[in-house]
Amino acid sequence: MLKYIIRRLIQAIPTFFGITLFTYLLLWLAPGSVVERLYLAPNIKAETRERLAKQLGINDPFHIQYLRWLAGDDWLRWDTDGDGISDAAFTPLVPLDEDDDGIPEPPGDNYGILRGDFGRSFVKKQPVMDIFLANLPATLELGIAAVVTALAIGIPVGVLSAVTRGRAFDNISRVLAVIFDAIPNFWLGYILLAIFGVWLKIAPIGGRCVVNLYGTCPPLFERLIYLVLPTVVLAAGFVALFSRYVRTSTLEVLSEDYIRTARAKGLAPQVVNFRHAMRNAMIPVATLLGPIITNVWAGAIVIETVFAWPGVGRIAYNAAVQQDYPVVMGIVIFASLGTILGFLLSDILYVLIDPRIRID
């Protein structure tokens, strides 16, 4: 198993670099820039925009920008005597005195993601990692709550739907599954906010905490009410997905010989259905966990916007709109790693649930 995991992780490395290269290329090819988006006004001179673009390095050639992001720029020019002025440069890539003013440019202070430096946001001027970590707890809160809710509802509904095949419960749950799978989550979000927040006034209209002068947020159990509506919206599609998978899988399992044997032994239906059938029916669900992580990221972008939920999805959306490359790349890395690890986790769960499966 360990060898398998290591092999999979090694295989993921080229995939990972391919994703980063492709994403950076797409960003670089996009017309316009963060400077034009933020500083496009008649009273801001073209020279000022040029200076700001230079400070951010966004006018450099693609290979320099990508290398700087990947491996940093402290090695492109270096300062051996520590006087703050470069005294050497990696000349095939950058000149020592780029602007020909007679003074060598200072060495860079970016270490690149290979050395754990995700860079600084062009817009917020903060380290990308700080920005990401500030919003990660909110997304984890929402994502975990949604997945747990989806599993807690979707699996029993799927099993019950299978064992009551063709009857009212089965028909209703299947219709609802199609409906909730098809409803756009932003629309469902608005509807729930309108009903429970605006009309019934029993839920807050968005947000994660009560606003206050000191920016403090109480523990989760004291503000669960804020979590309910976004969780319902994010979980709705997952419940539909899980219930349909589990129903199909359970139907297959229920026709197996060992289930017939269990019933012939006189075991209670709930023991047969939930102890014997359900565990085997879970195998396809395990394969869903990887894609679910991707779906949580994707869903978070919309749901966090509608519910003013301060998560990573909000960062991703804003950064993409503002062409804030370092932040977009940071999000892409975390999303890629999450997806790669999610699929790996699916494979591992597959083995744990079904002892017949062996990995080598």
Per-residue binder mask for another protein (CB under 8 A), 77-106, x = binder: ------------------------------
In angstroms, rounded to a whole number, what is the distance separating the alpha carbons of residues 90 and 107?
11
Q: Does 29 bind another protein (CB under 8 A)?
A: no
In angstroms, rounded to a whole number, what is the distance separating the alpha carbons of residues 295 and 32?
29
- For residue 127, the 8-state DSSP code is B
In angstroms, rounded to a whole number, what is the distance separating the alpha carbons of residues 240 and 248?
12
Say if residues 346 and 288 touch (Cβ distance below 8 Å): yes
Closest approach of Cβ 74 to another protein, in Å?
16
Q: Which of 114, 115, 188, 140 is nearest to 313 (CA)?
A: 140
> What are the helix and strand counts (H, E) for the chain?
14, 2
Exactly one of 33, 86, 280, 339 binds another protein (CB under 8 A); which one?
A: 33
Per-residue binder mask for another protein (CB under 8 A), 108-137, x = binder: ------------x--xxxx----x--xx--
Q: Does 37 bind another protein (CB under 8 A)?
A: yes
Length of the chain in terms of residues written? 360
Stretch that binds another protein, among 151-159, 212-220, 235-243, 288-296 (CB under 8 A): 212-220
Per-residue binder mask for another protein (CB under 8 A), 308-327, x = binder: x-xx--xx-xx----x----
Per-residue binder mask for another protein (CB under 8 A), 2-21, x = binder: --------------------
Taking the chain, what is the end-to-end CA distance rounded to the nearest angstrom?
Answer: 7
Q: Which is closer to another protein, CB of 164 or CB of 305?
A: 305
Q: Does 161 bind another protein (CB under 8 A)?
A: no
State the Cα angle at 157 between 156 and 158, rounded to 5°: 90
Stretch that binds another protein, among 150-158, 166-174, 190-198, 241-249 (CB under 8 A): 190-198
Residue type, 334: F
Cα torsion through 187, 177, 230, 203, rounded to 10:
90
Contacting residues toward another protein, per CB under 8 A: 30-33, 36-52, 55, 120, 123-126, 131, 134-135, 138, 190, 193-194, 197-198, 201, 204-209, 211-215, 217, 305-308, 310-311, 314-315, 317-318, 323
